[in-house]
A and B are shown apart, each in its own frame.
Chain A
Amino acid sequence: KAGVTQTPRYLIKTRGQQVTLSCSPISGHRSVSWYQQTPGQGLQFLFEYFSETQRNKGNFPGRFSGRQFSNSRSEMNVSTLELGDSALYLCASRTYNEQFFGPGTRLTVL
């Protein structure tokens, strides 16, 4: 089986712009979660989607949003980018328990 894929792998944006990141889960996985990873902060949970519905949400502002399509692919969007949004954004898909991560999208906000 192919693993979790994320596109693009790298992005450079400027403050105030918006960005959309994409994630394709492992075939058959219906749950997709998004995380933000910054140095020293570990993995911060953004949200989880299951069958096109947001099932869990972390403590991030409303500028961070996501969605899931009928084929389980997911996108996350960040509007009005801030310098502090620079991070590695990780997508993970899972079956009932085991969770597998993609390689991440490295977002740099200038």
Chain B
Amino acid sequence: GENVGLHLPTLSVQEGDNSIINCAYSNSASDYFIWYKQESGKGPQFIIDIRSNMDKRQGQRVTVLLNKTVKHLSLQIAATQPGDSAVYFCAESYTNTGNQFYFGTGTSLTVIP
């Protein structure tokens, strides 16, 4: 599969702080990206997406930043809460594979109360 990698396998943050989860991708042709959150025993939950014609997209407490120059994606979580503790995956896709998604191995976020 594609090399959709993550810079850090684990991340610990204090409750109330902001979290930043990073993701590197290798295919410059990728044109669509999704961040997922996976809690223990559950399937991945869609958080936010971004297309390659955008640099930034904001949701509720989350922001995704896309830097196509260095092929880097980040997820920022504001005011991190204990319920944010989970594994976060980034996924990329590009049209010439029929929008097949490629996933990184995930970053485990632990929120310290």
Contacts and interface: CB of A to CB of B under 8 A. Distances in A.
B97 A56 contact: yes
B24 to A, nearest CB: 14
Contacts of A35: 103
A55 B98 contact: yes
Nearest to B2: A45
Interface of A: 4, 6, 33, 35, 40-45, 48, 55-56, 58-59, 90, 96-104
B44 A90 contact: yes
B98 A101 contact: no
Nearest to A48: B100
9 pairs of A and B residues whose beta carbons are closest in the complex: A101-B43, A42-B105, A43-B103, A101-B44, A56-B100, A103-B43, A104-B43, A42-B103, A56-B98
Contacts of B105: 40-42
Nearest to A105: B43
B99 A100 contact: no
